[in-house]
Copies of this chain bind each other. A is one copy, B any other.
Amino acid sequence: MNRSALVAAIRERKSFLCLGLDPEMSKIPAHLLESEDPVFEFNKAIIDATRDLCVAYKPNLAFFEALGVPGWQAFAKTIAYIGDQHLVIADAKRGDIGNTSRLYAQAFFQTYNCDALTIAPYMGGDSVQPFLEFPGKWVILLALTSNPGSVDFQFGTQEDGQPLYIKVMKKATTWGTPENLMFVTGATHPAHFKSIREVAPDHFLLVPGVGAQGGDLKAICEHGLNADIGLLVNSSRGIIFAGQGEAFAEKAREAAAVLQKEMAEILLAAL
């Protein structure tokens, strides 16, 4: 899904919601555990219940990898089931030396046909470049993450007096374009969205941390919105585990609808 299709989907669905699929086995409703592939059945029900409310799905690879080979089968089936009307983001935080990143890119962009992949920046340009060479695919580079540990290195002051995450963004904007590069900027740091937009006025931002991690949607939007909306706001646990038992998908829909409604109001006010 390219940028114009993504922007069109946002305007049509009045939503810039990215729904994170973190199918933790211990939280999957009991009645699904008897099925042949509980993780896929869980994802399928969540996807069926939320398609019209979001523009992206973000499966988190850790929750599939932890299950071994059956987890990867569930991942592949989930990607195929999502289809081409949503941006499919593999949240895998990969990144390695050039010849290795090339293989990771092949894995996620060809073998599994995802649209986008989250990438860690620590290893620098040649670790990111191979992912940018796949036409029509997206790199989503970690800049300012939503977790407590983000303060350990990302805010460290660099030579030019600016924090590391700004240096990462500045350099990365010379590697990719707003058509193939987004940044991860956590909702738990709303005060930094102004600086973020100064460095990357046009790029899409993937914003995790709303919900379980405490981020506030309106606060992010204040400086985060751009002419093409430019935001994908993610919620994972707050939606997919909103309810338990047989009604879990219905409860997930309700939780997603709350966010989508808030987004529709923000979009209306921004027009």
Contacts and interface: CB of A to CB of B under 8 A. Distances in A.
Interface in A95-114: 95-101, 103-104, 106-107, 111-112
A185 interface: no
A113 to B, nearest CB: 11
Interface string A75-104: 010000000000000010111111111011
Interface residues of A, number: 58
What copy number does this chain have within its complex?
2
B164 A152 contact: no
Nearest to A122: B122
Contact of A154 (B72, B124, B154): B124
B98 A126 contact: no
Interface of A: 22, 24, 60, 62-63, 65-69, 72-73, 76, 91, 93-101, 103-104, 106-107, 111-112, 120-128, 142, 145-154, 156-159, 164, 167-168, 171, 213
